[in-house]
Each structure stands twice: as C-alpha cells, then as structure tokens.
Amino acid sequence: MGINRVLAVLSVTVLASCGQSSQETGNNTPTTLSPWHSLTETEINEAAAAVNDAFGEGILFNRISLTEPDKNKARAWQAGDTATRGADIVYRLNKASYIARYDFDTASLSAPSEITSGQPMLVGEELFGALDVVNQLPEVVAALERRGITGSDGLCLPRTVGRFFADLANPVNDRLVRFDCFNIRGQSGLGLLPTTSAWARPVEGLSVLFDVEELKLIEITDSFADAETPPNDFEVIEFHESALDTRPALKPITIEQREGRNFDITGSQINWQDWQFHLRFDPRQGTILNNIGVVSDDGFRPVAYEIAMSEMFVPYQDPDTHWFYRAYFDMGEYGFGNMATELKGNDCPPTAIYQDVVLHTASGEAFTAENRICIFEFDPGYPSWRHHESLYDDIPGMVKHNSRRATHLVVRMVAVIGNYDYFQDYIFQQDGRIRIRLISTGIDATKGVFSASLDDPRAASETQTGTLIAPYRVGVNHDHFFSYRIDMDVDGVANNFVRQRLVAAEQPDGAPRQGIWTVQQEQVLTEQQAQTVMKVEKPALLTFASTTAENAMGYPTSYQLIFPNTRPLVTLDDAIYQRAGFLKNNLWVTRYKPSEIFSTGLAVNQSDVGVGLPQYAADDEAIENTDLVAWPMIGFHHVPMAEDWPVMPSKVDEITLKPRNFFNRNPALDVPE
C-alpha cells in the first residue's frame, strides 16, 4: 500500500530540508571520550561488525548501547584520560534473543548469553516492514472495503501485545504485534495528503495479530464482519495552522541571549553555574545524565551518579476484544531513544542549541539523527528568592527590597510513541534543585462508537470505559506510569536512605495545644524495609544522606526526593499488572548493581511476570552506608475529556531532587541582582 511509502519518503524529505544542523551545537570537541559519552558511529559499527563476524549474517540488532561503565573507574576519570568503553549488543538470531558485550580496548566480543525471559525492543524495521505487509493483506483490504475504506485511505498500525495470545502463538519466541486500523482520508484543502491526525478516525472492531519476524498473519478478528460498523468517515478537526481559524497573534515576547549562553559543553560534559554533569543518549532510555554534582570551593561534590527514566507503562482499562491487551511498556517495548523525533518549531526556545544523536539500524549500521536534544537556559518568570522588608519602608537610604532573578538550565528530548508525545526534561536550578519533568501531549487513543452524543441511547453502554470526547469516539480510560532510576551519590558513594514520617503527636492533658505534628524517623535498613508506599495521612520526607559529610550545623549532607503520589488502582495480580511489579511502591531503594538498570527487566517485550524491581529487592540486602539506587514512580490516571481533543494540552509530571542540609545556606544567595 503506497501510503506508507509516501509517509516514509515525506518524513525523510522533511528531515533533510528542515534540519537545524547548521545551528551552533555548542560542543568543544575533546581529545578523548569520557566513560559516559554516547557510543559513536565508529564504535557502533565496530561492535556490530564483531557480532556479524562471529555469528554470520541474518542478525537483527535490537539495541546497541554503551556498557554501563565500571563505576569506580569512571568516577576516577579525569578529562584527557582514556576511558574504558564497551557496548552491549542485544540481537535476534534464528528466533532467539541474545546479549553480548564488546570491549573496545581489546576489540573482543564476549560469549553471548541467550535471553530466555521476555524479548528485546521492537525496532523500526520490524514494525514498518510488517506494516507494509499487513496493509496489503487481502483479508485486511476486504475488511476495510466492507467499511467503505479503499486504497490508501486505510492505515493499520502495530501495537505491542503483552503476553497474550498463547493459544495462537508462542509468546516466548514469536515476535507478535496486533494491528488496528484507521481511516486517514484527507479532507478538502489537503489535496492528496492524508488527514493531519492519523489517529482521528478509528476503524473499530478490526484487529490483526501478526508475527513481525516471520511476516506471518496469525489471526484477523472482525467483530463487525456481518453487522453495521461504527462510522469511520466523518469530518475531523485538522490541527495544522492553515486549517484553523486562529485567534489574533499576541504581540511577541522576545527571548534572546544577545551576549551568548552561560553553559559550556565539552564532549559529554556540561557545566552551568555550579552544576557539572555528563549527558548521553541511549536507544532505549533516551537522555541519560551521569556524574551529576556541584563544583564548589572544596572541589566536585557528587549528588547522583546516574539519572534516567527506567520504564513507562500505559495500561488501558477496557476488557473489549480489541482493547484488553493494550498496555504499553513504551520504553522497553519500543525504545524512547529510537522514537525520539527532531526538535523544531516551538519545541524549544529560540536560544536553544541542538544536538544530534547516533542511533543504529536493524542491520547494525550507525546513523546520525539530527536535533534530537535541545539545551537552553530559561527564565521561569518567578524569582529565585525575594524579601521586601516593610518594617523599614520609612527609613531612607536602606535597601528594603531584595529579589533575585531565577535562571534554569533545561536538557530536553521528545519521544513520539504512536499517538502520544512525551517530553523528557532535566532542569537544573541555581538553588541546588534538579527537576525531572515528563510532559505528556499528543493524541488520545480513541475507540470508535455509534454515538455522536450522550443523547444516543447506545451512549450509556459505550461510555462505560471512557468519555465521548468527540462524536463517534470514546477516549478510553488509562494510566500513565513513569518509573525512574536515580543512582544517588550524595557527597560520595556511601549513602543512607532516611525515611521520616510527619505524624501527629498528642499533647498531655492541660497542655496549651491538643496536637502538633512532629518528624519521626523510621528504621530503614534493608531493601524490603525501604519499599515506600505514600500515605496522605502520614507524609514522608525521603532523603539520601551522606555517611561521611556534614554541613556546618552537623547534619549529614542530604538530598530529598519529592514527587506526587499515585497508586495503581488495579490489582497487581492482573495479567498485565503482574508484568509491572514496580507499581507496588511509590519508591524502591536497592543496593547499586550495574546489571539492575531497568525496573521491568532487561527484555520487556512479551515479558514474563514478576521481572525487574521485585527481583532486585527479593534478596533484601542491607542498604546501610552503601551505594544506593532510588526508583521513584510517578504518573496519573487519565480519564479523557473533550479538551483532550483533537490534540491534548501538555500535562506535566515531576520529580524534584532538593538539597536538604547539603549546603550551609541558600545556595542561590550569591546570584547577583
């Protein structure tokens, strides 16, 4: 079906013509790579060649990532040193999955180990290769024609399937996806082009289970084969600007830095204000920060060794034949880095600089993807701090008003996982805070229904699992859960996890107060004890404290983890939720292990139950005075609404790392007026 080819050609053309590569990237090229530098094109090609040489052709490369560097060696690395570097190569061969490690120093490949639990990420070539075949299947063409959709007006798109369909295929070895379809017919003014939103007209009741490796149809399910179908050919709201009656433009707010930027980039290292960190890009996790800390008069003070998202889980809440399986582990199943899109237009402010990233094809060839990261400074519009001393208003000559402008540094990428767009931001502040911000926008997944409004007698049953957000479309209820991995190293590797609850303290009879609240420390000595479920009635202060450094008042220097509380509503015994064991707690704390990177395990696609964080914590290791990793979970329950349509307003979720007795005073005190 020509449309997919057309789309592919269009996107390539757009990339070539609108690339912002001529912009300054701000990078001073170093002579040697740091331990945390993203894999280079040369390195990726060398690692892939080693695997091809050892095991022959026909290998599908799912992921070539930087090997987690030896932490002790990496921490001792100084600019100019030669770092030890390696690549982890995850690949498919003869219907099995493997991981091997390539060492660049010795040019040697480890013996591969077979991955027997779960499967590696689906890569673009698998999905798009299958897409062409599925869209040309006579059964699919016929089912679409029965619904009045012909030629390139129909487009079926792939979804991961969890660990279902064991009666039809082998969920352990077969690479399964299920396609559902859309009417993408273009409307007046678009010429031969499809509608702006490929997701706006669902073709309900048609699903195609497909093996993307064998390119084999397994099952086609048409619930309306002999019946009237929900409408699929109505006018949709085009959201490109020329199709809209836009409001009058605002008088412009100009953002500029005439004297240049305030951050320096050398290789993977970024310095801004007192902050220093390394930035790399990974096909699975996207942007990863390493060796993050504060440059002080006493030298480099580490805060965290690594910060990255570990998994994203989006389970839909509809038991329908065509919806029950929809629960996406977007990071482990598709790859957040692989799905990163070019940043352009209003994605980043005009002062941003852009970085290209290096990814690879399924055949292991490295390529450069342009402008996948932007970095910029930003004025949030409120001061870093302020005080006006009204007591002295009448005293002439005194400085009564003090406020200091705040400036933040933002590192941004955007991944598009099908209908949703996710911004992954790391924000550095002058007051010592680091914020991890996840912004969700894009297009709600909708289910095609017969009702155009609640007046239709069918609407009552059709809106049991969602909201009629536009005529003939129900936005199905779902969750967005984000699991992060933060390797805390507060003033050194050895840390303690401190959990304090704010609790009511009854006062004795006759006291002037009947109740106050106090801070009570709980004993948290092991991985099991550290598992934290948030309670509205007993808020928790969650901190990671140095075991060696104290501030001037004698407190252990600490960083606090702050994040909104969300809980799974569905039992963790559910077939889908059993694969997302990280949901059990708002926060897990484990002892650092270089092999424990992903909260849902190494291979998430069609993964088994109970993998990942529950396994890492099962041995209940002691976590006193040792190297600790924090695993906070954030997210939201999404009950869609009309305002989500045709494209959803940006929704922000955040984790804050906040200094708590890490400094001796407000660290932004010295910001000049």
Per CB under 5 A, residues contacting Cu ion are: 638
Residue 459 identity (one-letter amino acid): A
**Residue 518 tokens, joined:** 């106090």
Least distance (Å) from Cu ion to the CB of residue 319?
A: 18
Q: Which is nearer to Cu ion, 40 or 441 (CB)?
A: 441
- Terminal alpha carbon distance of the chain: 62
Residue (of 269, 140, 154) closest to 209 by Cα position: 140
> Residue 151 CB: number of other CB atoms within 10 A?
12
For 16: left if phi > 0, alpha if psi spans -120 to 50, otherwise beta; the answer is alpha
Q: Which is nearer to Cu ion, 301 or 478 (CB)?
A: 478
Least distance (Å) from Cu ion to the CB of residue 480?
A: 5
Least distance (Å) from Cu ion to the CB of residue 414?
A: 16
Least distance (Å) from Cu ion to the CB of residue 636?
A: 8
Least distance (Å) from Cu ion to the CB of residue 123?
A: 25
Least distance (Å) from Cu ion to the CB of residue 641?
A: 11
Q: Which is nearer to Cu ion, 284 or 638 (CB)?
A: 638
* Residue 370 · residue 15 · CB < 8 Å: yes
Q: Which is nearer to Cu ion, 407 or 424 (CB)?
A: 424
3-state secondary structure of 71: helix
Q: Which is nearer to Cu ion, 328 or 376 (CB)?
A: 328
CA 496 vs CA 435, 530, 557: distances in Å: 21, 11, 11
Least distance (Å) from Cu ion to the CB of residue 60?
A: 31
What DSSP string runs through 383-422? Answer: -SEEEE-GGGTTSTT---EEEE---EEEEEEEEEETTEEE
Least distance (Å) from Cu ion to the CB of residue 533?
A: 24
Q: Which is nearer to Cu ion, 20 or 467 (CB)?
A: 467
Nearest residue to the partner Cu ion, using Cβ: 638
Least distance (Å) from Cu ion to the CB of residue 571?
A: 21
Least distance (Å) from Cu ion to the CB of residue 66?
A: 31
Burial of 498 (0-12, 13-18, 19+ CB in 10 A): middle
Per DSSP, 110 falls in state: P
Q: 67: Cβ–Cβ under 8 A, 6 or more apart, which residues?
A: 85, 86, 87, 88, 101, 102
Q: Which is nearer to Cu ion, 194 or 646 (CB)?
A: 646
Q: Which is nearer to Cu ion, 568 or 614 (CB)?
A: 568
3-state secondary structure of 171: coil
Least distance (Å) from Cu ion to the CB of residue 323?
A: 14
Q: What pairing do the DSSP bridges indicate for beta strands 515-522 and 556-562?
A: unpaired
Distance CA 503, CA 355 (A): 47
Distance CA 209, CA 221 (A): 8
CA 25 vs CA 20, 36, 122, 373: distances in Å: 10, 19, 31, 10
Q: Which is nearer to Cu ion, 468 or 603 (CB)?
A: 468
Q: Which is nearer to Cu ion, 134 or 200 (CB)?
A: 200
Distance CA 52, CA 38 (A): 22
* Residue 558 · residue 546 · CB < 8 Å: yes
Q: Which is nearer to Cu ion, 157 or 359 (CB)?
A: 157
